Homo-oligomer: A and B are copies of this chain.
Amino acid sequence: MAIGEFVYRRRVQYKETDASGIVHFSMFFVFAEEAEHAMWRDVGLSVEPHAAEIGWPRVSASFDFLRALRFEDEIEVRLRVIGKTAKTFRYQAIIVHNGRYAAAGTMTTICVSKRPDQPLRAIAIPREIADRFAIVEPLEIPGRPGTDSRAATLDPLIPGP
């Protein structure tokens, strides 16, 4: 049985904020990665089992930031598998707080062989891994392409999910 979406919940920790009082933008990528790893555990896998010979570096990652997150906010990362090739997975990650979108992004990982003293080399995703994940449609994020409208305010009335 394959999984195509997963919800990961956690709380914003103090170390994740910065001097502007909100979560540092680089942390959204960490949240997305944590959700990915939790999704893998949910199907009985680890992205990096002990002494693994394969790994999953990122090929690309992006986020649009819609609302600020603050210390102790309880957030959801809604992760979806939106693409799969012979060697890569593509995820959509939507971060939700209080029923409203805080950020939406994508992340592509690539399967590599890691051997001591050798450079990382892309390889085909082992079938027992590929079979656990099913592709689903990405969610449409209202106003997401509208950088212009977002430029008007950081607290837009985007209806939550």
Q: Which residues of A contact B (CB under 8 A)?
A: 13-15, 17-22, 24-27, 29-30, 33-34, 37, 41, 46-48, 50-51, 55, 57-65, 68, 70-72, 85-88, 108, 110, 112, 114, 116-117, 119-122, 147, 150-155
Bound Cα distance from A117 to B53, whole angstroms: 12
Which of B30, B59, B61 contacts A150, CB < 8 Å? B59
Give the number of times this chain occurs in the complex, counting copies: 4
Taking CB atoms, residues of chain B closer than 8 Å to A37 are 13-14, 72
Q: Contact: B120 with A154, CB < 8 Å?
A: yes
- Expressed in whole angstroms, the minimum distance between the Cβ of A19 and any Cβ of chain B is 4
When C-beta atoms are compared, the residue in chain B nearest to A56 turns out to be B20
- Expressed in whole angstroms, the minimum distance between the Cβ of A52 and any Cβ of chain B is 9
Bound Cα distance from A51 to B20, whole angstroms: 11
Q: Contact: A62 with B65, CB < 8 Å?
A: no
Q: Can you list 26 A-B pairs with a CB-CB distance of less than 8 A? A: A13-B34, A14-B34, A15-B26, A19-B21, A20-B55, A20-B114, A25-B33, A26-B26, A29-B29, A37-B72, A41-B72, A46-B72, A50-B117, A51-B117, A59-B147, A60-B64, A87-B151, A110-B150, A112-B154, A119-B154, A119-B155, A120-B154, A121-B153, A122-B151, A122-B153, A122-B154
